[in-house]
Amino acid sequence: MSFYILDECVACGVCLPECPEGAISEGEPFTIDPQLCTECGACAEVCPVDVCQPDPDSE
């Protein structure tokens, strides 16, 4: 299972430097590449609007 970013993302960028795998890409909303995400949760820990969530549809 990987994480994903909800549409409510405010594109503040605090998650970008926290991802050890570089899985997060800028945009509105930001996106997480499920092939690179290791489910560490670092993005969720720093997100001020709580939009980084575990993706129940990923394997």
CA angle 41, 46, 29 (to 5 degrees): 85
Provide the residue ranges of all domains of the chain, joining segments of one domain with +. 1-59
Distance separating alpha carbons of residues 21 and 40, to the nearest angstrom = 10
What's the predicted TM-score (pTM) here? 0.88
Sign of CA dihedral 14, 17, 18, 19: positive
Closest CA to 23 of 37, 12, 40: 37
- The string of pLDDT tens digits covering residues 15-51 is 999 999 999 999 888 999 999 999 999 999 999 999 9
**57 or 8: which leads in pLDDT:** 8
Give me the architecture of the 1-59 domain, per CATH: 2-Layer Sandwich (3.30)
